[in-house]
Amino acid sequence: MKERSKIPVRNPTTAKGGAVARSSASEISSFLNQAKSAANGAKGRVVLALDATMSRQPTWDMACHIQAEMFKAVSKSTPLSMQLVYFRGSGECRASRWVRSGDDLATMMSKIDCRAGHTQINKVLKHAIDENANLPINALVYIGDAMEENPDDLGHAAAQLGMRKVPVFVFQEGHNNLAEATFKEVARLSSGGWFRFDRNAPNVLKDLLSSIAIYATGGIKALQLRGARSDKLLLEKLSGGRRS
């Protein structure tokens, strides 16, 4: 039997006392129905995955602002469907419902705070595989600064995404050498791309994320047509893999 990722599908909202609100079975079913409905009307589907462990706290607000603003802008002009996935704490890894509104995504992100814990990147990759089996996704965007797992496990999952034509675009914060080597391999095996998350150049990150969204909704031709600097950079990253 195919192994399923252990990520509950929930809308990440905060309950009283700072705990994350739990969803009932009926709410989860409703979220899944919304996902199918949104995807049927959307031209592109992107999973945005975030490392929300404590090491990301110093730049968390800035990152959330950039990511939310990018999706707000893109969702106004392209039929993009988005899902937020994050991990933190002791084994906590959650996925939101699929949304078509950048405002909805920004609201969800604003309710997440960083908590100490180890990375759970393999869960994220397996979750993307499962989501793609339900309805195809066009890209997985991952933003993080560390890697505390078996690199071979991550490489195996990334290769499976590559075979399914789901590129992983990794944005790395900081200069952790082990994380960098692994992230670059994840990007290579999935036919995606690796980028430096530079807190001193937020507009560069915003433009690159925008290009990924354009790619997700229109493919390589859309990037070539728009021809922005970030589009050309993304095309360079994609040149070694499959694209149509």
**DSSP assignment letter at 200:** T
The confidence score (pLDDT) of residue 163 equals 95
Tens of pLDDT along 34-70? 444 443 444 689 899 999 888 887 777 777 776 666 6
For residue 182, the model assigns a pLDDT of 97
| pLDDT attached to residue 5 | 41
Helix (H) or strand (E) run with residue 43 in it: none
pLDDT of residue 75: 58
The third-level CATH classification (topology) of the domain covering 45-238 is: Rossmann fold (3.40.50)
pLDDT for 3: 37
Do 19 and 97 contact (CB within 8 A), yes or no?
no
* pLDDT single digits (tens) 213-224: 888 888 888 888
pLDDT per position as a tens digit, 118-167? 999 999 999 999 999 999 999 999 999 899 999 999 999 999 999 999 99
pLDDT averaged over every residue in the chain: 78
Q: pLDDT per residue over 90-115, tens digit each?
A: 999 999 989 877 677 778 887 888 89
Q: Which residues contact 158 (CB under 8 A, 6 or more apart)?
A: 125, 168, 185, 186, 187, 189, 190
pLDDT value at 178 more than 90: yes
